[in-house]
Amino acid sequence: MRDRQGRRLFAFAAIAIALATGPAHSGSVLAAEADESSPGLVGRSNLGLQTDGVLGSEFRLSAAWGAILTEQEELALNRRAEIQVELGPARTVAATYADVVAGVFLSQDSNFDVDVAVVKAAPPEVVSAITKALPAGVLARPVVVERSRSDLRAIQARVMAESARLAGGPVRISAVGIDAARGVVSVLVDGDADAGRAKLVGQFGDAVDVRAGSFTPTGCTSTSNCTPLRGGLEMLNPLHPGYYQCSTGFNARPTAASSTRYILTAGHCWQDSTDSSFQHAGSSFGTATFDTFQNTTAPHYSDALLITRGTFGAGTPMNTIYIPNDVSAYTITGLVPYANQDVDDLVCNVGVHATGARCGQITNVEYNVDIQPGGRWGSTIWFVFALIEAKFAAQPGDSGGPVYVVHQAYGTATGSSSATRTVYSAIDLMLDDIDRFSSYTPRLCLNSSCT
């Protein structure tokens, strides 16, 4: 895919934002916050941290991560996020050895930074080549796994072929993704989940992880007036206020020098072809220009909508997203491409219904979702390929909201695969799909004036 301005990854910058919604606490975590259903503890779980015994003055609510953390835990998460943003070169090398390599993952072992997962037959020079491409100072260990990335892709293709054979029956395969860190293909089954699990496990054994659920777009169900426009704000199609509610994603501009500015968000948010205008806080801010979601006949890899902005909400900075109760604008200075995002990486999200940053680990990549949209697309069924699933909860109306970490854009929310997991489109695939299917060539605004 064509290289873009802003693909270079920038050094980590500390995140300094105010406490999330609710009373600020300068001391210990309150008993109510320690309840296992509290957002702070859910946030810990999403980030792969234990939730038992979280009491005492050392624990505080981190607005940056949307979780109850100690200072040391927050520093460790910041370090992990910094490392994952810099893993691009190593993951690019690993991709060239997909037949014997599963991937390069953030390690769950505190003695190491990353795991280089290879099959037993992998030549030693493969691990050496990947290790040489790692950032300076990163500690890595080789881990032997049963299945390479190519093995898992082959299994994924077989599962998707099974989906076609099951169509119309009591079992429907709703989505199929790859969790290469654990060496399985993740399958989301709708309908008779027990029967689906028995059938798929009987056919594919421990190569599949089957769970019940269905893919649900999250853009159909407020955020107050906030200008200049930025990511994470409410946007409405005026013909359907309260129903076709979505969230703004990222500001963008044409590749060539131009005064035109865009909002990049989720394609399925444009549900009514008779009205292409969108509003924020009661005022029209732009017109739908092109979406990739409607491409039912050509393979596509994103759920993207390009909205050409008008004069409402204009102004600088152009490279910010809105985090509730943040005392300053959170800036976006770069992007992380799809190829450099993988299982166990950390990501965050905001949207219309967010009360603060929602963060969690990526759980699946190469997530191919079976879409049954309705609306202006009719009853056509097709797959959207190469989405990503992560462990944080989005709600109806959050579609299009930015997915990010350490000032890098990762994508925009597309829908939910369960009450605790969200599916999103990778930012570079959104831009590339618009390039492929239209005459528009957008790129993100990565500085205040969007130059």
Token reading at 115: 């795991």
The answer for residues whose C-beta is within 8 angstroms of residue 198's C-beta and 6 or more apart is none
Phi and psi at 438, nearest 5°, equal -145, 180
Distance CA 428, CA 435 (A): 11
Strand ranges in 257-405 using DSSP code E only, listed in sequence order? 262-265, 277-280, 283-291, 305-309, 320-321, 330-331, 334-335, 346-349, 358-371, 382-390, 402-405
Please give the chain's pLDDT, 451 residues, in tens: 333 322 222 222 221 211 112 222 223 333 333 444 576 788 888 888 887 776 677 888 888 888 889 999 999 999 999 999 999 999 999 999 999 999 999 998 888 899 999 999 999 999 999 999 999 999 999 999 999 999 999 999 898 888 767 766 777 788 899 999 999 999 988 777 788 888 899 999 999 999 887 766 554 334 556 778 888 898 987 765 445 789 999 999 999 888 999 999 998 888 766 678 898 888 889 999 998 877 665 667 899 999 999 988 888 889 989 887 554 568 899 999 999 999 999 999 999 888 788 999 999 999 988 766 555 545 555 568 889 999 998 888 899 999 999 899 999 999 888 888 999 999 999 999 999 989 999 999 999 899 8
29: exposed, middle or buried (Cβ count in 10 Å: 0-12, 13-18, 19+): buried
- The three-class DSSP label of residue 392 is coil
338: exposed, middle or buried (Cβ count in 10 Å: 0-12, 13-18, 19+): buried
User: What interhelical angle do 124-132 and 88-95 show, nearest 10?
Assistant: 150
The two beta strands, 208-212 and 184-191, are parallel
Helix, strand counts (H, E) of the chain? 8, 26
Angle ∠(359,235,341) on CA atoms, nearest 5: 30
- The three-class DSSP label of residue 288 is strand
Rg (CA), the chain: 21
Distance CA 328, CA 321 (A): 10
pLDDT of residue 371: 66
| Lookup result for tokens 């191919």 | 368
Under 8 Å between Cβ of 187 and 208? yes
Q: What are the C-alpha distances in Å from 387 to residues 85, 180, 410, 412, 424?
A: 19, 15, 11, 10, 6
Phi and psi at 220, nearest 5°, equal -130, 75
Distance CA 31, CA 34 (A): 5
Under 8 Å between Cβ of 114 and 140? yes
Distance CA 285, CA 263 (A): 10
Strand ranges in 301-357 using DSSP code E only, listed in sequence order? 305-309, 320-321, 330-331, 334-335, 346-349
